[in-house]
Amino acid sequence: MKIHYERRADRPDSDGCCAIHIRLVFEGQRLRVATGERCKAADWNVKSGGFRKSFTDLDNAVIRLQKLRNRIETTYSNLRTKHGAVTAAQLKSALVVAAAGPVPGLVELFGEYVMAMPGLGFAANTVRAYGSVRNALAEWLGGREGMQLADFDMVAYEDLLGWLRTVRGLADNSVAGFVKRLKPFLLWARETRGLTLALDPSKLKVEWEQVEKVWLSADELAAVAVAVLPAGLTRVRDAFAFCCYTGLRYSDLHDLHAGNLQDWNGSKVLRLTQTKTRTGVSIYLTPPALALLARYESTRVRLLPVMTNQVMNRALKRICRLAGVTSSVEVVEKVAGRILKQAVPKWELVTMHTARHTFATQSLMRGMPVEVLQKVLGHANIKTTLIYAKVVEDFQHHTMKRIWEGEGATDNAGTLDSQICAVEPTAA
């Protein structure tokens, strides 16, 4: 049997991609088999009969084609052993049966996607989040574990959303996050596994609600920094304060090492690649931040002591309560179609990510240009950074005061050392 790959140029889709077929020549017969792969003319080498290196999904496509080739050769060999001579009709029929095979249920298929994610380049935290979606699907289905992907239509999808909101009690943003993870799975099932979908993933849309960000004022940050705490809480406080002074996410704090600490103009800077975005950032270390690093210089493996995010978040609530971060904050949520409002003490809402919000808002109120803050935070789009400018009313007031009255930006929310959260613009 001779096997050739060819690109059919007669039926391009809207993107200019055409189907890739396998042409089989055996026992004086010819058979063309669809592979499920598609590409543009620029990504196909007609002479060699294969994808060019410019093809974005080259590695995965080559693996899929090789698996299909192996299946064709195995099927042909089995037919020859059983029947001797093989006709094109026999081979085509056998390939269709082999391709069909047992179809996994929706939950099982999602589990296969989760298992494949590390090989597709997804981070461990992302894989865990998708695992939670798989578990929620299993809970939603209950005794209907046998539901196939082909049964998951818009009616089932809307039933799932209703279950998430009413039974699970998820707020709109949590539901939106669920849908955000559901769509890549559906695309994977269609494009990689060649399965038929009963709905269009592009039509699965849930609006994100704008949530008020929690951040500490200068007075509150100062109170946390000097609070007298039990020995077991001081390390968490110091790590949190360091993030308030640098804008680091927990994931980046967790991975900090001595190689990230570098000399710059007589001082020190952090240079690192962010775990979440793979973006390189450079952050000037102010004296308060350097003092925290010096505190652990002789005892550390990492630059600062770090525990799991969940443990640190629980400890932070206790730390902020002991430090007097008790002002009331209104929390507004939309749950099961109802708007729920309640006043809660701010310490209940503080997490490690609050430090990043604190850095951003305090930096803006001290007059840092938004463009510089964007670089320090590692935001690819300045619109993400501008969210902080929108939520900080004081930033608007200070800006107007500076423009109309000719006064410099100050932070009248507190008397914290002006060096805290001050980032040298040239360090970005």
Q: Is 392 among the domain residues?
A: yes
pLDDT of residue 392: 60
pLDDT of residue 93: 76
pLDDT > 90? residue 255: no
- Per the document, the length of the chain is 428
Domain containing 58 equals: 2-100
Q: Of the residues 175, 203, 231, which one is the last residue of a structural domain?
A: 203
Q: Does residue 317 sit in the same domain as residue 413?
A: yes
pLDDT of residue 407: 56
Q: Does residue 9 sit in the same domain as residue 38?
A: yes
Q: What is the mean pLDDT of the chain?
A: 83
Give the start-end residues of each E strand in 194-295. 261-264, 267-273, 280-284
pLDDT > 50? residue 242: yes
Q: Is 211 among the domain residues?
A: no
* Cβ within 8 Å of residue 92, ≥6 positions away: 31, 33
Q: Does residue 142 sit in the same domain as residue 256?
A: no
Distance CA(385)–CA(269), nearest Å, equals: 21
pLDDT > 80? residue 272: yes
Q: Which residue has the higher pLDDT, 17 or 383?
A: 17
Q: Of the residues 83, 100, 117, which one is the last residue of a structural domain?
A: 100
Q: Does residue 146 sit in the same domain as residue 288?
A: no
pLDDT of residue 312: 94
pLDDT of residue 237: 94
Q: Does residue 93 sit in the same domain as residue 236?
A: no
Q: Is 295 among the domain residues?
A: yes
Q: Please, which pLDDT band fits residue 194 given cuts at 50, 70 and 90?
A: confident
Q: Does residue 366 sit in the same domain as residue 410?
A: yes
* Cβ within 8 Å of residue 113, ≥6 positions away: 130, 185, 188, 189
pLDDT of residue 160: 93
Q: Does residue 264 sit in the same domain as residue 355?
A: yes
Q: Is 336 among the domain residues?
A: no
Q: Does residue 370 sit in the same domain as residue 283?
A: yes
| Mean pLDDT value across residues 357-382 | 83
Q: Of the residues 146, 169, 203, which one is the last residue of a structural domain?
A: 203
260 close to 304: Cβ distance less than 8 angstroms: no
Q: Does residue 198 sit in the same domain as residue 231?
A: no
Q: Is 230 among the domain residues?
A: yes
pLDDT tens-digit readout, 70-111? 888 888 888 888 878 888 888 887 776 554 455 678 999 999
pLDDT of residue 234: 93
Distance CA(108)–CA(135), nearest Å, equals: 10
- Which amino acid is located at 55 in the chain? F
Q: Does residue 75 sit in the same domain as residue 138?
A: no
pLDDT of residue 421: 46
Q: Does residue 301 sit in the same domain as residue 361?
A: yes
Helix axis angle, 309-322 relative to 231-246, nearest 10°? 100
pLDDT tens-digit readout, 26-61? 888 988 888 888 899 999 999 889 999 989 888 888
Strand order in the sheet with 29-39: 2-7, 18-26, 29-39
Structural domain count of the chain: 3
Q: Is 124 among the domain residues?
A: yes
Q: Please, which pLDDT band fits residue 301 given cuts at 50, 70 and 90?
A: low
Q: Does residue 250 sit in the same domain as residue 391?
A: yes
Distance CA(111)–CA(413), nearest Å, equals: 49
pLDDT > 60? residue 413: no
The CATH number of residue 280's host domain is: 1.10.443.10
The CATH number of residue 194's host domain is: 1.10.150
Distance CA(120)–CA(288), nearest Å, equals: 41
pLDDT > 90? residue 370: no
Q: Is 210 among the domain residues?
A: no
The percentage of the chain sitting over the pLDDT mark of 90, rounded to a whole number, equals 28
Q: Which residue has the higher pLDDT, 123 or 155?
A: 155
Q: Please, which pLDDT band fits residue 317 given cuts at 50, 70 and 90?
A: very high
Distance CA(334)–CA(158), nearest Å, equals: 17
* pTM listed for this prediction: 0.60
Q: Is 275 among the domain residues?
A: yes
207 close to 176: Cβ distance less than 8 angstroms: yes
